[in-house]
A and B are shown apart, each in its own frame.
Chain A
């Protein structure tokens, strides 16, 4: 089965800007086919030719755009694109070789031509290539932020401006990150991809990390437009599913990673009200949670429960699962969540996890116990100045009856809110202190 058949059957509930689909083509056909073809061809002619490959695929798609509407969409559009891109690529490689009078390059071009003639449309092979390319992107000589941009460009088929929009940064910045990644790829030997050993654990961990980052960029992004965020989450799930289905990625950590993605994505649709305002966990209509996706997540979580290593993905998936399984906010098994946060702090120490544990403890044992978790804890400046820290402290102090401290943190939290939507949510939350129940919508 191909990955394209694997994408979830039901239509996305969140508004998709590219809802216009075409008979005979699956959703995101061009974008996903771009990633597939770039991977496939790069694996054949060497990743040092990445830019030439990308240009060839782009040209093939422009040809398709000019041809298909006039004739008809071919029976096998993917094969059509492959043929055109392949011819374009070989032409380019030959031209470069001729121009440079390099015998070596000329023979390389002919070798590539012979390679590319082989029938490569076996789906299993194509999955290999896409994953191989993903492993290439996660080179530890490439900075993490450049890896992310490279993956979005080559595997997900996003353009610079589309990446900038989704990562909430400038085009110049995306371009810089991409250039850094490409510099590194150009230095790699021609047979690098073939010699790559995906079984090496270090690189697999890097791949998991980049997929996690891709997902959280989508899930936690400050971006106002839900559909754009959702696309990043969908891409992360698509690639993680490929990884979990392939011998290279079949380890408990990958299953846990995929579980946590499903368990968060299942609830994404309920995070906003009709006007796009953010909703707290306790305000969300749980009937809007995608039960099918929760089941998928729980199935992956079950599969991840093997082996010796308890990863941060296990802990985070465990927390998400508890929320998904709770029939109401007040019936949440907070003790289990506190336990998971403790494990998460051990697996991946971060002051943010401690803050979240304080929130969970407050729900479980009351605000004083929650504050006690933070006793003697000096948060780093980035956290201390953030709306999350201030809002949690405002909430806990208010519930404990310390109005002075609560007011102080309240004002700080509002001032630090990064977007109007978050500010509105804080205002609502911090004014409704009479409602029992906790603060835990900020970070899953």
Chain B
């Protein structure tokens, strides 16, 4: 099975600290946690690397040198990634789509097959 890189992007205002937005309550967190675990359980075989959230620290390297990232001028920034194994891009997309919290307003997920040699 090929591997797929899932790249999550969202608008900068919704990145990082969940400070000003509505915070989930403990009961909601419990529900989110349970749902996420259920998802992980269900797709155990597909999950190669849970990846993680990307925070604001970064650099962008170009032939002209290095600049501090992330890319504030862009409308969306990459906020997280994970690697899935699946028989097809459709299957990988379906696994990712079912991951709680991944598909949200203002966010998008790109699923790309990692070319094998």
Given contacts A65-B32, A66-B53, A68-B33, contact A18 B18 (CB under 8 A): no
Contact residues in B for A61 (Cβ distance below 8 Å): 26, 29
Query: By CB atoms of chain B within 10 A, which of A25, A28, A65, A158 has the most?
Result: A65
Query: By CB atoms of chain A within 10 A, which of B29, B32, B51 has the most?
Result: B29
Q: Is the CB of B50 closer than 8 A to any CB of chain A?
A: yes
* A152 → B minimal CB distance (Å): 11
CB closest residue in chain A, given B31? A18
CB atoms of B23 and A30 under 8 A apart: no
CB closest residue in chain A, given B40? A69
CB atoms of B30 and A30 under 8 A apart: yes
Given contacts A20-B31, A28-B30, A29-B30, contact A58 B23 (CB under 8 A): yes
Q: Is the CB of A252 closer than 8 A to any CB of chain B?
A: no
Q: Is the CB of B36 closer than 8 A to any CB of chain A?
A: yes
CB atoms of A31 and B27 under 8 A apart: yes
Given contacts A20-B34, A22-B34, contact A70 B26 (CB under 8 A): no
Given contacts A31-B26, A162-B25, contact A69 B31 (CB under 8 A): no
CB atoms of A20 and B38 under 8 A apart: yes
* A33 → B minimal CB distance (Å): 8
Alpha-carbon gap, A66 to B16, bound state (A): 12
CB atoms of B30 and A18 under 8 A apart: yes
Alpha-carbon gap, A379 to B39, bound state (A): 58
CB neighbors of A among B11-46 (8 A): 18, 23-38, 40
CB closest residue in chain A, given B28? A159
Alpha-carbon gap, A64 to B40, bound state (A): 16
Given contacts A20-B34, A28-B30, contact A157 B50 (CB under 8 A): no
Q: Is the CB of A62 closer than 8 A to any CB of chain B?
A: yes
Which residue in B27, B31, B34, B36 is a CB contact (below 8 Å) of A158? B27
Which residue in A18, A69, A162 is a CB contact (below 8 Å) of B37? A69
Interface size of A in residues (CB-CB distance below 8 Å): 26
Alpha-carbon gap, A68 to B36, bound state (A): 10
Q: Is the CB of A21 closer than 8 A to any CB of chain B?
A: yes
Q: Is the CB of B117 closer than 8 A to any CB of chain A?
A: no
CB atoms of B18 and A30 under 8 A apart: no
Alpha-carbon gap, A31 to B53, bound state (A): 25
Q: Mark A265-294, 1 if CB is under 8 A from B, else 0.
A: 000000000000000000000000000000
CB atoms of B38 and A30 under 8 A apart: no
Q: Mark A12-41, 1 if CB is under 8 A from B, else 0.
A: 000000101111010011110110000000
CB atoms of B50 and A21 under 8 A apart: no
Q: Is the CB of B52 closer than 8 A to any CB of chain A?
A: yes
Which residue in B18, B27, B36, B50 is a CB contact (below 8 Å) of A162? B27
Alpha-carbon gap, A367 to B31, bound state (A): 51
Given contacts A58-B23, A158-B27, contact A21 B34 (CB under 8 A): yes
Contact residues in A for B40 (Cβ distance below 8 Å): 69
Contact residues in B for A64 (Cβ distance below 8 Å): 29, 33
Alpha-carbon gap, A64 to B33, bound state (A): 9
* A207 → B minimal CB distance (Å): 23
Q: Mark B38-65, 1 if CB is under 8 A from A, else 0.
A: 1010000000001111000000000000
CB closest residue in chain B, given A163? B25
Contact residues in A for B26 (Cβ distance below 8 Å): 30-31, 33-34, 61, 157-159
CB atoms of B25 and A158 under 8 A apart: yes
CB atoms of A70 and B27 under 8 A apart: no
Alpha-carbon gap, A317 to B52, bound state (A): 54
CB atoms of A65 and B50 under 8 A apart: no
Alpha-carbon gap, A20 to B32, bound state (A): 10
Q: Mark A238-264, 1 if CB is under 8 A from B, else 0.
A: 000000000000000000000000000
Alpha-carbon gap, A22 to B31, bound state (A): 9
Contact residues in A for B28 (Cβ distance below 8 Å): 159
* B18 → A minimal CB distance (Å): 6
Contact residues in B for A25 (Cβ distance below 8 Å): 30, 33
Alpha-carbon gap, A30 to B28, bound state (A): 9
Alpha-carbon gap, A69 to B47, bound state (A): 12
CB atoms of B27 and A157 under 8 A apart: yes
CB atoms of B25 and A157 under 8 A apart: yes
29 A–B contact pairs at CB < 8 A?
A: A18-B27, A18-B30, A20-B31, A23-B37, A25-B30, A25-B33, A28-B27, A29-B30, A30-B26, A30-B27, A30-B30, A31-B25, A31-B30, A33-B26, A34-B26, A58-B23, A61-B29, A62-B24, A62-B29, A65-B24, A65-B29, A66-B53, A69-B37, A70-B50, A157-B27, A158-B27, A159-B25, A159-B28, A162-B27
The residues of A with any CB-CB pair to B shorter than 8 Å are 18, 20-23, 25, 28-31, 33-34, 58, 61-62, 64-66, 68-70, 157-159, 161-162
Please give 16 more A-B residue pairs, beta carbons under 8 A apart, in addition to A20-B35, A58-B23, A62-B24: A28-B27, A28-B30, A30-B27, A31-B25, A33-B26, A34-B26, A61-B29, A62-B18, A62-B29, A65-B32, A65-B33, A69-B33, A70-B52, A157-B26, A159-B26, A162-B25
